[in-house]
Structures are given as structure tokens and as C-alpha cells.
């Protein structure tokens, strides 16, 4: 059986150095780390995860909480998170929160079953999250902002993204628009609505209350809401959905009634997931750099694990309107 002593002997370093490399310590010279890793590979050495956890008090595991893993936004984020964390020697455990509960993930931190948690579902109502942050639990929020929470947070400029949609509709004469939001307590839904509705008001096209809906970021709920909108005597000229998943539902509602976008109603989403560019959807949407956001969040968590007392960071990424076939005119510069 190959041991860490064998690795140390081949690499020409001490066993303590091998242990520090295995625990991802930062005070290791790059060339030393490479020598140890090369020796491990040459000998086929695989460290015992349980023993490492006992020595370092680290599980080498990170939890990730998502709202609905069937939403195509999350697989893209998870792919990038896993790539970044795996490169640092961490495994990923996924919680599909469903109703939004964070209890299991926060319990896992307290019990040291995971070293930290990345939340993509947090809302301002999460009191337990506030308590965990105050205790310096390693927590990062991605695609969410909770006001007053002194935690690492990564988000895109959702207010500007919503405003860009309003400007585009105004420029192209589509002034009677409906808005379909996500979860009422989610910062993404709140800020996208704020940017869109305030800019529409400013441009002289206020969106009436009976054209504003919440669909919980759900395809099926959005499809139902859009069907109701299309059945009105005065249907909207455009529907702006707070994510692409709901926009796909809006497009399906049009098709089920023998209608089309952009011929009968324009449809705009948000996120620019990979599926948005597929010919069957060809969706105009607001692109947020989800993979860059995921990388930034993963690195923030790794920095937090290395230095639990460092000041919290907040990063905001710019967005861009991407015009495709679900609307009928190119964007103006």
C-alpha cells in the first residue's frame, strides 16, 4: 500500500509538506506542489478522504443549493462551479431546494459535513442564513443579493437589464407589454421588474397591474399566465419574462393557440441559457454572464475558506440584450 511517506520520499520533501499539499495550504511553493503531485501520480497514491478530514477538519466538500435543477440556467452554473471547485480539490453536493428551504445545507455546515455552501436561491426572508453568516460560516450567494447580509455575493446588473428591455420595446413601438416575474422575494425578479417597470413608466408606457404576474420562475406557470393574457380582448404586444425558462413557457402558450412570436406577440427572456439560441426557441433575451459569475462565486468561497475573517465581497456583472427571432427588429445602438 502506498503511503504519504512514500510520496514524501519520492518527491524529496517532508511528510508535513505532503500533508500541506493535500490540504491545499497556500504557503507551498508552486514547484514544491508540482513535485508532490507528480510523485502522487507516479505512485498511484490516493489519500484517504476520512483521514484527511480528521487531520484538517475539512470535508473537502462544498454544498450548492438550487431552486429547480430542471431549469436550464442551473446546469450551466453547476458545470462551471464543479469545474472550478474540482480543480481546487473539492467535491460538490447538490441540494434541490424546491420550496426554497436552506435548512439542510446550513445544518451540514454546522455539522462539518460540508466546508461551505453556495446559494443560488436565497431571499431576504432567510433568517437562518443571516445567523450562519454572523457566525462566519463560509457562504456565498450567486445570482442573488440579500440586502443587509454581510456575505460574499455575486450578481448581474438586473436593474439595467430590465431597463434595456423597456428601451428596446419603446424603440420598436411595442408599448403594450406584460411582465411575468419569478419568486416575489428573489432579488433577481425584484430588480428585473424594477428596471423594466420604472423605465416603461419613464418612457410614457406604464405597465398596468393587470399585466403584471408572478410565475415562480416556472415554465408551466408562465405558460398558463401567457395563455390567459392571449385570451384577453386586448392582449399585450410583448411579454417580458424574468428568465428564459418562463419565456419558453410563453412561447409554448403561443404555439398551443396557433399563434407565433414575433408575428402575434413578441417574447423576451432573461439569462441567455444555451437553449435560448436553439432554432426552436430563437429567443430574444438579456444575457448575463452566468459562467463568469459561477467562477467568481467559487473563487470567493475558496478565499473565504482560506481566510474566514476577511471582509465580504460583492461583485456585479454587466448584462447585454441579445436580439433573436422571437422579436421582430434588431436592437439599435
Provide the β-strand partners of residue 63: 93, 117
pLDDT at 51 over 60: no
Q: What pLDDT score was predicted for residue 54?
A: 44
pLDDT in tens, 180-206: 998 887 889 999 999 999 999 999 999
CB 301 within 8 A of CB 140: yes
pLDDT at 52 over 60: no
CB 217 within 8 A of CB 68: yes
| Beta strands 284-287 and 320-322, pairing class | antiparallel
Cα–Cα distance for residue pair 211/228, rounded to 1 Å: 10
Q: Which of 326, 324, 198 is nearest to 253 (CA)?
A: 326
pLDDT at 99 over 60: no
Mean pLDDT of 83-109: 78
pLDDT in tens, 280-313: 999 999 999 999 999 999 999 999 998 888 899 9
C-alpha cell at 129: 442564513
* Orientation angle between helical segments 219-230 and 244-256, nearest 10 degrees: 40
Give the other-Cβ count within 10 Å of 309's Cβ.
Answer: 6
pTM (2 d.p.): 0.79
Share of the chain above pLDDT 90, in %: 54
pLDDT in tens, 106-139: 777 777 788 999 988 766 556 777 787 777 788 8
Residues near 256 by Cβ (< 8 Å), separated by ≥ 6? 223, 227
Amino acid at each position: 500500500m502506498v503511503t504519504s511517506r512514500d510520496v514524501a520520499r519520492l518527491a524529496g520533501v517532508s511528510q508535513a509538506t505532503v500533508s500541506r499539499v493535500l490540504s491545499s495550504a497556500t504557503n507551498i511553493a508552486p514547484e514544491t506542489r508540482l513535485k508532490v503531485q507528480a510523485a502522487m501520480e507516479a505512485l498511484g497514491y490516493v489519500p484517504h478522504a476520512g483521514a484527511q478530514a480528521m487531520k484538517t477538519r475539512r470535508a473537502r466538500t462544498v454544498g450548492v443549493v438550487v431552486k429547480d435543477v430542471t431549469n436550464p440556467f442551473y446546469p450551466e452554473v453547476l458545470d462551471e462551479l464543479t469545474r472550478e471547485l474540482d480543480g481546487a480539490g473539492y467535491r460538490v453536493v447538490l441540494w434541490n431546494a424546491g420550496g426554497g428551504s436552506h435548512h439542510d445545507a446550513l445544518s451540514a455546515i454546522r455539522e462539518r459535513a460540508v466546508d461551505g455552501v453556495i446559494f443560488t436561491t436565497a431571499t431576504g426572508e432567510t433568517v437562518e442564513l443571516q445567523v450562519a453568516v454572523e457566525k462566519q460560516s463560509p457562504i456565498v450567494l450567486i445570482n442573488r443579493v440579500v440586502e443587509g447580509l454581510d456575505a460574499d455575493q455575486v450578481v448581474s446588473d438586473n436593474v439595467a437589464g430590465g431597463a434595456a428591455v423597456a428601451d428596446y420595446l419603446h424603440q420598436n413601438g411595442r408599448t403594450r407589454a406584460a411582465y411575468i416575474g419569478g419568486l416575489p422575494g428573489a432579488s433577481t425578479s425584484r430588480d428585473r421588474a424594477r428596471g423594466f417597470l420604472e423605465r416603461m413608466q419613464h418612457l410614457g408606457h406604464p405597465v398596468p397591474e393587470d399585466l403584471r404576474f408572478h410565475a415562480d420562475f416556472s415554465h408551466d406557470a408562465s405558460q398558463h399566465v401567457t395563455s390567459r393574457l392571449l385570451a384577453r380582448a386586448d392582449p399585450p404586444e410583448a411579454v417580458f419574462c424574468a428568465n428564459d425558462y418562463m419565456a419558453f413557457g410563453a412561447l409554448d402558450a403561443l404555439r398551443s393557440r396557433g399563434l407565433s412570436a414575433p408575428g402575434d406577440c413578441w417574447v423576451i427572456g432573461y439569462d441567455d441559457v444555451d437553449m435560448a439560441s436553439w432554432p426552436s426557441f430563437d429567443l430574444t433575451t438579456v444575457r448575463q454572464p452566468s459562467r463568469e459569475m459561477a467562477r467568481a462565486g467559487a473563487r470567493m468561497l475558496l478565499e473565504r475558506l482560506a481566510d474566514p475573517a476577511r471582509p465580504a465581497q460583492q461583485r456585479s456583472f454587466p448584462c447585454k440584450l441579445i436580439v433573436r427571432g422571437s422579436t421582430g427588429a434588431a436592437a439599435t445602438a
